Structures are given as C-alpha cells and as structure tokens.
Chains A and B, each alone.
Chain A
Amino acid sequence: MSFVPPSDPVNRAKKIKVSQLCEICHCRKALIRRPKNLQRICKLCFFHVFETEIHNTIVCANLFQKGEKVAVGASGGKDSTVLAYVLKLLNDRYNYGIHIVLLSIDEGIVGYRDDSLATVKRNQVQYDLPLEIVSYRDLYDWTMDEIVACAGVRSSCTYCGVFRRQALDRGAAKLGISHVVTGHNADDMAETVLMNIFRGDVARLEKSTAIITQSSGSPIKRSKPFKYSYQKEIVLYAHYKKLDYFSTECSYAPEAFRGTARELMKNLELIRPSCIIDIIHSGENLILKPKKSSKNELRSASEQQPVEVRSDGSVKLQRNTTAGFIDGGKCERCGYLSSNRICKACILLEGLEKNRAKVSLEKDTSVAGAARLTRALERLSF
C-alpha cells in the first residue's frame, strides 16, 4: 500500500470578490474558515497561524529543554503524523534543540495496526526521524487479537488502554527518553472534559486539561502540544501539506461512551464552532474545593478500616488514607509504577493467563502459559 496524495484543484476562480479575500494578508482567496474565531484565511496564512499557535503553546508551557530527547507517540494516524511533521519543522525554525524520535506501539491487531505501522515506517523515511517499535507481543506475550479472542471484544479498550500506557513508558525508558509527546488535540481534550463531567469524575476533571502530566516518582512525563489545535484544522493541515497518514477506525469496538460524547460535541460544534476551545477553557478554570477539615480525617483514621482480600488471597496493605492516592509505588511483579501492590496490567494479565491455561488444556498442548509469561516478565529489564 503506497501513499497517493489528494488531487490538486484544476479549476481556478476567475474573478475573486473583495469579500472572498483572506482576512490576514488581503491578497489571496480565503479557503478556510477557522472554527476558533470564524476568520476567513488563505492556505499560506493558515499554515502560518496553525504552526505559530503550536509554537506559542510550546513556549508558554515551557515544554522543551535544550538538548532534550523527545519521543513522539506515533500511531500513523492524522494527529501523530501532523505532530511529528510540525515538531520537526518548529524545532528547525525556532531552534528548540530537541532530538525527536518516533515511538510506535504494535498492539498486534491484524488488518489495522500492521497497516498503520507501514505508514509510520514511511513517515520515518519522509521526515528522516529514528523509529522504535514496541510490541505487546514482546512486552506481555499477548497480542490484542489473542486478548480479544480470550476476553471478548467488549473489554478490548480496557486491556488495550492499560497496556498501551505502560508500553509507551517502557518504550521511552528503553530509549533513555523521559518525555513523550502525544497527538491529543483540542477535540479529544474537550471530549474528555465532558466525559468526566458526565461521569461525575471530579478528581480527573481537574487534571484532564493539564498540558503536561506526570506521576510523581515516574521518570517519564507526557505532554500534548496540540491541546489547542482543532481536529478539523489538523486534518486540513495534513490535506494541504499532503501528509501521508493512515485513517481507519480500530477494528475493535470503540468505547461507546466516548463515541456518544464525541457525537454530541460535533453537533455542538456545528452550531457554535468555538465551543471546543470554550469547553477546554471552562475545564482549565475549574478548581476543586479543598477537602473537608482534618477532623473527619482524624476520625476516619482511628476507625477500623475494612480489609480488602484479593482473589489470590493476598491482603491490601493499610495505608494512611488522608494522603489519598499514593504515587511512586512499584508493582511487585514487573516493577512498573503502581499505586497498588500489583499494577493494573499484571492483574489483567493474570486474568488472561487463567483463561489461556484452560484453552491449552483442552487442546492438549504442553505449553504452560503462566510459566512462559513469568519468564518473559523476568527477562524484562529497563
């Protein structure tokens, strides 16, 4: 599968009315109406404002340090492709002095990820950037296809999300990189704000608009330079620049709740295009009321807490509840950052492994899945 760029128009406007001119340069025909402010601008002015806005976001948030190595989480999709292209361009133009590496995760979804990875491999050549691919198969000894065969389609996003988060961190750690940039755009962020409101997830609501996220104790920080970039403008940019990106929805069921939130937002955007940036603005200015007085905390600390017994017979460790979520713990099995004794990925893997053992017995193969996984995890060292 090779890349075919979109066709160039052959019909040129014969007579341009003054009202059709770009509102920035006043000399070329306007082609775009910016969703943020409804300004009508031409292609060249669009490139300029789009790139400059991202540059301003990067500078204002002080995202990069000179000499820093930065990994772009590259899926081959529109956002990460445009991100890699724009970052390279801005790095050359404004001399950030960063070293950019493409980091891809191979979830092992045949017919989806293999095609999108082919796009990333072409991007690697087109933009002349180093590429590293980390696969679920190597990290967890499972591919998403096997997981879905085992656990069903409905929970596919749960597994994939937990595993990918870790895989990106591990991939970055392997390359000695402590900063991962992702292509999350304004639409994604507004969607997340809405979803957190709908779910009443106040704890996440406050954090959901942060441009840099980092758990304390984790050496790897993540950032979103496209935080204020509209999806529509990203697609337009890729279209005009003829960037080679992959566009197919993942073969497994998309998260229903997010899909509905997205639909709602697309309809809102039609009526009021600035609503996306407005939702982010609202999210940024929401500050949680500080937790109630220490009286309650003292009382709750003295009360006997119920002890959580896990399915494997282990007991959840008691900790000072006043501190809330504790960052910086390590998973006992894989050593990955975890707030619990065993991290989410290992718990999911354990569940999967139980199922695999059953299947292999029925088929009478002598492969002990659990042992194989333990060995695979033992081999991991970062």
Chain B
Amino acid sequence: MVKVKVEFMGGLDVIFNKQRMHQVLIDGGEVTIKDLIDYIVAEMISNKNDIGVFVENGTIRPGILTLINDADWELEGGEEYVLEDGDIISFTSTLHGG
C-alpha cells in the first residue's frame, strides 16, 4: 500500500469537484504512476464525460504537465515510475488561455 499526494492545477481541478489537493491510498506491492492514472480515471473523476480532459489514448493527454516531486516524469521513468510514500504527483494543464 502506498500513500501519495496528488495535485491538479492549471484548471484541471474543475473535473475533480474543484478540489486541488487529494490524498490517495492505493493497495498493492509496487504501485506505478500508470496504476495511479488508472485509479484516478476509475475512482476520482466524478463525471465520466470528463475523462477525455485528463487521458487520451490510454495516457496523460498531451499538454498536461506531469511532475513527480517537482521533476518532469519523463526524467523519472514515465509511467513505470514506482510510487513511494509521501510522493507528490502534480498534473498541470497548460492548455488554458494565457
């Protein structure tokens, strides 16, 4: 079981009941970011029509910035990164107007 903090920013909080910060508990031995994304899609998006705002073709939608402890997830192994207790995962949309 792993306990992480998930943050939705840049307007993404709209599809999570306007709540920006979430504590997430996921069961399992090695939990990866991929598992976290599946969990978010299955359990946390209140309106299923909004799923396309967050994921596209099975992964995070292009234009959403994913950070693991403030580091670009591409540098941490992307979807294969194994979560640790206390990690902060943030998703920030860059798609809104300037």
Q: Footprint of B on A, CB under 8 Å?
A: 4, 6-13, 20, 29-33, 40, 43, 75, 77-80, 183-185, 188, 231-232, 234-236, 239-240, 247-250, 262, 266-267, 269-270
Contacts and interface: CB of A to CB of B under 8 A. Distances in A.
B42 interface: no
Given A11-B84, A235-B65, A78 B98 contact: yes
A326 B5 CA distance: 59
Interface in B58-98: 62-63, 65, 67, 69-72, 74-75, 84, 86-88, 90, 92-98
19 contacts: A7-B88, A9-B69, A9-B70, A9-B87, A11-B87, A12-B69, A29-B71, A31-B72, A32-B72, A78-B10, A78-B96, A185-B98, A235-B10, A236-B65, A239-B92, A247-B11, A247-B93, A249-B95, A249-B96
Contacts of A266: 62-63, 95
A168 B74 CA distance: 40
A249 B95 CA distance: 8
Contact of A4 (B5, B20, B72): B20
Q: Which 6 A-B pairs have the closest CB atoms?
A: A79-B98, A9-B69, A266-B62, A247-B11, A31-B71, A77-B98
B14 interface: yes
Contacts of A185: 98
Interface residues of B, number: 30
B7 interface: yes
Interface of B: 5, 7, 9-11, 14, 20-21, 62-63, 65, 67, 69-72, 74-75, 84, 86-88, 90, 92-98
A117 B9 CA distance: 19
B69 A232 contact: no
A183 B87 CA distance: 33
Contact of B94 (A8, A80, A231, A267): A231
